[in-house]
Structure 1
Amino acid sequence: ENCLRPCSNKTDISSRRRPADLKIDQALLQVHNELLGENVTVYWLSDHCYQCLYQRLLSVPISRVPGKASIEAVAVDSEHPVTLQVNGTLEDGELCRVHYHFGEFGNYSLKIQTLYSTAQEVTCNVVVNEAPVNSYLPI
Structure 2
Amino acid sequence: MDIEVVDLQEIIPNNLLRENIPIPNIPEIEIVRHFVKLSQKNYGVDTGIYPLGSCTMKYNPRINEVVERLQGFTQIHPLQEENQGSIEVLFNISKLLGEITGMDGFSLQPAAGAHGELAGLLIIKKYFESKGIKKQKIIV
Shorter-chain TM-score bucket reads under 0.3
Larger helix proportion, structure 1 or 2? 2
Which structure carries more relative contact order (alpha carbon 8 Å, separation 6+)? 2
> TM-score, normalised to structure 2's length?
0.20
Q: Is the radius of gyration larger for structure 1 or structure 2?
A: 2
